[in-house]
Amino acid sequence: MNAQDAVPFLDYASVLVFALTGALVASRAQLDIMGFVFFATFTGIGGGTLRDLLLGQDPVFWVGRPGLLVVTSLAAILVFFTAHLFESRYSLLVWLDALALGVAVPAGVDVAMTAGAGPIVIVAMGVITGTFGGLARDTVANELPLVLKQNELYITATFGGAVTAVALIWLGVSGFWALIVCGITVFALRAGSLLFGWSVPTYRPRPPKTKG
């Protein structure tokens, strides 16, 4: 299995998991079932759609594979009827979002590589594919975007994974394994941030003064 063969699988997986997070946000907003389908769909396909538009992929991936919209709709219906079974929908949302990041970033890296992009653009497409679906979801729903959460690795996780993929390929690792390690890196950084408080220093308006 080479990297190119992995794209449809990665795209399906990331669309599915992001769709679940979109439907969970719809449940927090107490929408009706078509509202769930709407949120699940644009969250699921948002990041990859922006990536394809920027790379000039014509048409964007889901126009050529409309079965993906069936996937997002089924995900929405599933969440509509089962979300009440979970004690903390927010915690479920955050963890599914972490999982989706771990699949979407390698999907973005893979598409950009296949399109012949250079390393900087590959990293950018990994980050964009990972983050923009969730960003659109949170912005439309008037929730605080996860990218704005302080003291959590989010952008850093996607960036770390994308850079890892590019570095491994540069070192001669096969595309397939580079994508696997990329996804694990993204998820591990994000999970470590959620479980153990891993973070990098944030900006502080007034740094502590050194005494003279």
- Summarize as ranges the residues that interact with its own copies (CB under 8 A): 26-27, 29-38, 41, 49, 53-56, 58-60, 63, 66-67, 69-70, 80, 83-84, 89, 117-118, 120-121, 124, 127, 131, 135, 139-142, 144-145, 147-148, 150-151, 153-156, 159, 199-207
Distance between CA atoms of residues 49 and 209, nearest Å: 47
**Is the CB of 176 or the CB of 191 nearer to its own copies?**
191
Nearer to its own copies, 35 or 192 (CB): 35
Kindly tell me which of 4 and 148 has the beta carbon lying closer to its own copies.
148
- Residue 145, preceding bond cis, omega within 30 degrees? no
Instruction: Give CA–CA dist 153/190, Å, rounded.
Output: 6
- Radius of gyration for the chain, computed over Cα atoms and rounded to the nearest angstrom: 18
Query: Based on CB atoms, which residue is closest to its own copies, 140 or 173?
Result: 140
Q: Which residue, 16 or 153, has its beta carbon nearer to its own copies?
A: 153
Residues 6+ positions from 191 with CB-CB distance below 8 Å: 98
The least distance separating its own copies from the CB of residue 98, rounded to whole angstroms, comes to 16
Closest approach of Cβ 25 to its own copies, in Å? 10
Give least dist CB 189 to its own copies, A.
Answer: 11
Return d(Cα 48, Cα 54) in angstroms, integer: 10
* Shortest spacing between CB 59 and its own copies, in angstroms: 5
Question: Rounded CA gap, 75 and 73, in Å?
Answer: 5
Report yes or no: 117 and 54 within 8 Å, Cβ to Cβ: no
Length reported for the chain: 212
